[in-house]
Structure 1
């Protein structure tokens, strides 16, 4: 709800700080005292269009601060959280600054925001119904969610949305499969040709490196053989190197015991050398035997290597990716061959999800139709005491064509009204009389109070053009509405004013020659009695008027 409102330099208001409580708060005062300035100021804080003419004469700028304390997870908090603003556990402070040259700045909890965001937040916090401005229920786009809240259809609505998402996902999968199959069929000849080529080539991962190494070895075969033969000849010159080393080792071993251990390192070194020499000869023989000097082998290796690299260049990939490409082409061709069957399965799955959606949406539509009937009866019962006995309220629930279906179901909803007998019903916004519109909104709000997400409602002169029993009926309904919501009312009716839990009087005062300012004071009980008596009697307050005021307040 609205906790406080601070106004600086707006038209005739120099400085004003107001606190608000729950329930019904009424604003009274003589015509021209400045009650409309309060609504203009609040509207600015809620994101209304800025007008430099609202800046008090001589002041450089105006500012309005409205503090709210909505419950956790209120739509306003959700909206701000979506903008990465941490407002989960704190009041919401909406601030608007307008300079004398018309520039405007907006803030939420001292963070700069766009006026558009401020307006969206404001629409979630306050609904204003006045002679010349209104939002909320006047917007047909809100009527569907309002009826659903009245119908307590949350579970059915969630089921419908879930079924819609499943249908859309199935339809998307089927559409994408169709497009993929269509493209594949258009490229089928090229796919089959590419796959046949790769199948015949049969590339293997890592084959490029192996072939390149074999090619390099074969290209330098003659030089390698010549060098290895020379090395082998050196190892075998004047007998085997290993035999010579072993002979020297045995000669020293025979006298080793006479050398006091000094020959042991030499004998060990000769042993190692003999082993290494034998191993070197064996490896050299092995490598020599592996070298293929057949030029036809080199030709085959080069032919294979060049074929793989040519295929890789053709497909603009690495040689090692050819095997994966072959597998991918095979999968595409398999999908192409079985594409018709797959599409049939996807189409069947899509139809099943559509059927599930229609069933869920029809159940929701049934709840809406039943709730619409209850809402019409409830609103109709509120109209006669408000001097709207000739009016007729209808909740229009229309079943849309399939191209209009969506996550909210099969329906569009609009609240319709006819204020004259025989006249066809039309939208709420078509009600010509501002007073009638406000009373209609009051009747509707009284019925919908417990389902409204907007915690604060403002009525500007809802009692316009009425009096007596009708004004009393308006006051009674405003008070009833105040048990569920915070209600602020600008009124000229003593019957309405007497119902307020808080009563504020708006008045002008001359602070110096030629300078008049508007002030607002919260009235104590005795002051309320005097103000209501003034509203009953006029300029001269009589004892009879005071007694009547006591009766109304009682």
Structure 2
């Protein structure tokens, strides 16, 4: 089959619009467009129904495997398109990742023959982890061997909170828990600091006294090093300064000669018609500059002409600072700050009683604030548990579980297990026989009972779920007759508000679908491919009759199929 496109428009709330599959196992080219309501997928064992679910799972972040690539093809690809409401959680995830989105979400995933995988959301390259996050918000899959979702006790508390609309209360509890833990962490850190300070109190006191005596200051090392360099060349500097001073002063010095030249020219300046005025002014400036230079030489000479013992004292100071820095493993310029830190740690010892007492009071106040908020959440959970139990109980008789009991257990946790979700453990328990104690959902129920319990829960919880598409993979396994019909009725009821896709071998379930897709295998020569047909009228009757009677379809089976179909809607 080169290409197949089935037009089934999606109606109502958010859901899967289309699924396009290329070169996945036995599927060469297949395009399916879905609509809301209950869509049943039937077909003989081995026809390839699981390939459709594997393809959808691939688009939603499931593990990629080169074994999915059709033999002889270079790569497999799956494109899933969803029509979402404007407030759908998937948009928040996309915004968080800086990705563009509108009311349509198109996810594309490819797997090459060597196992490499790539993914795109609305033609923007993304990682598989993001696909998984989106998938959790878009499609919920429940299979006969499912160990996730409602069968995982870790999810039960969140499910109950969602059912009861406790998001705001949960957020308040989480915030108060974080505030409590912050104070407790500060308390623990302070206690650790104090313990360390006590252990090294003697060392700290000695170090502070030593640094106080040394009195280091920032920038001192550089200043001392520069002065030391000057003093080490003192004799050469003094000789040079004296020679320069001799050249500039004395009987033949430049200052005396400039003054003489100025006096000589000033006496005849009035006879030069102003021509000597600029010269005299220049000589005057030169005399002033020379005087300043000589004064500078005096000052420099005074700085350099220090007591030779000053160099020894300076070096002692410099070496003492550097020795202290090496001792404490810091830079010389950091010694002053280190002294302050040592003093702070000592003060912790002196102020420890007040500090720890204050933090203890703050921690107790924060704990009580958290506990009060968590107890309110717990009370609301208890109330919601009763409502959930009653709602599920109402769904059990139609599923032929009249004698079964469902119970939502809300019990307190030990304080060591308290957390941002509160102080409760929530678990869904069931008892399938009168008088038997309730047990874990995934431990007590048989395969057929489990499927029906899950379906009852799904029907009750559907109104609180943001997921628009639910997939049930052969959840009717192990049941038949009136029980299968009841399962079909609940699936159809679930389809009134959601898009429900069901892979089924039950004719009773198949007869109640708003849409019926038949997965079938086609053999052409040595080529085997899987395709999908939309069944209507007689074709649908024949498929349901086949499911009733097996390989040979009898008139009696056709009449039974017509009877089942007549009960649809």
* Range into which the TM-score falls when normalised by the shorter chain: 0.7 to 0.9
Per-residue Cα deviation, 1:157-205 (whole angstroms, up to 9, x for no partner): 1011111211222222222222222222222222211211121122233
> Which residue is equivalent to 2:518?
505
> 1:362: Cα distance to partner?
1.4
Whether 1:523 and 2:535 are equivalent positions in the alignment is yes
| 1:463-502 correspondence runs (5 A) | 463=476, 465-468=479-482, 470-491=483-504, 496-502=509-515
The 3-state SS of whatever aligns with 1:137 is: helix
Q: Which shifted more, 207-216 or 454-463?
A: 207-216
> 1:446: Cα distance to partner?
0.6
> Which residue is equivalent to 2:433?
420
> 1:45: Cα distance to partner?
5.4
The answer as to whether partners of 1:449 and 1:481 remain within 8 angstroms in 2 is yes
| 1:280-359 correspondence runs (5 A) | 280-287=293-300, 293-359=306-372
> Which residue is equivalent to 2:141?
128
| 1:310-459 correspondence runs (5 A) | 310-431=323-444, 433-459=446-472
> Which residue is equivalent to 1:276?
289
The answer as to whether partners of 2:234 and 2:305 remain within 8 angstroms in 1 is yes
> 1:295: Cα distance to partner?
4.5
RMSD over aligned Cα, in angstroms?
4.0
Q: Which shifted more, 276-285 or 409-418?
A: 276-285
Go from structure 1 to structure 2 and tell me whether the alpha carbon gap of 1:246 and 1:358 turns closer, same or farther (over 3 Å shift): same
Whether 1:16 and 2:30 are equivalent positions in the alignment is yes
The 3-state SS of whatever aligns with 2:471 is: strand
> 1:388: Cα distance to partner?
0.8
What is the total number of aligned residue pairs between the two structures? Answer: 546
| 1:172-251 correspondence runs (5 A) | 172-215=185-228, 237-238=250-251, 242=255, 245-251=258-264
| 1:49-68 correspondence runs (5 A) | 63=76, 65=78, 67-68=80-81
Q: Which shifted more, 308-317 or 367-376?
A: 308-317
TM-score normalised by length of structure 1: 0.83
The answer as to whether partners of 2:83 and 2:105 remain within 8 angstroms in 1 is yes
Per-residue Cα deviation, 1:201-232 (whole angstroms, up to 9, x for no partner): 22233334444455555566666566655655
The 3-state SS of whatever aligns with 1:338 is: helix
> 1:527: Cα distance to partner?
5.0
> 1:454: Cα distance to partner?
3.1
> 1:358: Cα distance to partner?
1.5
> 1:347: Cα distance to partner?
2.4
> 1:368: Cα distance to partner?
1.2
The answer as to whether partners of 1:146 and 1:452 remain within 8 angstroms in 2 is no
> 1:277: Cα distance to partner?
3.9
Whether 1:153 and 2:166 are equivalent positions in the alignment is yes
Q: Aligned equivalents of 1:34 and 1:251: distance in 2?
A: 122
Go from structure 1 to structure 2 and tell me whether the alpha carbon gap of 1:61 and 1:405 turns closer, same or farther (over 3 Å shift): farther
Q: Aligned equivalents of 1:197 and 1:209: distance in 2?
A: 21
> 1:447: Cα distance to partner?
0.4
The answer as to whether partners of 1:107 and 1:118 remain within 8 angstroms in 2 is no
Q: Which shifted more, 471-480 or 65-74?
A: 65-74
User: Which residue, 107, 120, 132 being the options, matches 1:93?
Assistant: 107
Q: Aligned equivalents of 1:358 and 1:523: distance in 2?
A: 58
TM-score normalised by length of structure 2: 0.81
Q: Aligned equivalents of 1:59 and 1:214: distance in 2?
A: 83
The answer as to whether partners of 1:50 and 1:98 remain within 8 angstroms in 2 is no
> Which residue is equivalent to 2:19?
5
User: Which residue, 536, 540, 545 being the options, matches 2:555?
Assistant: 540
Per-residue Cα deviation, 1:468-524 (whole angstroms, up to 9, x for no partner): 4x5554333222211222101234555544432222234456656x87765421134
Q: Which shifted more, 379-388 or 409-418?
A: 409-418
Whether 1:108 and 2:119 are equivalent positions in the alignment is yes
The 3-state SS of whatever aligns with 1:177 is: helix
* Structure 2 segments unaligned to the other structure (5+ residues): 1-14
The answer as to whether partners of 2:194 and 2:345 remain within 8 angstroms in 1 is no
The answer as to whether partners of 2:140 and 2:471 remain within 8 angstroms in 1 is yes
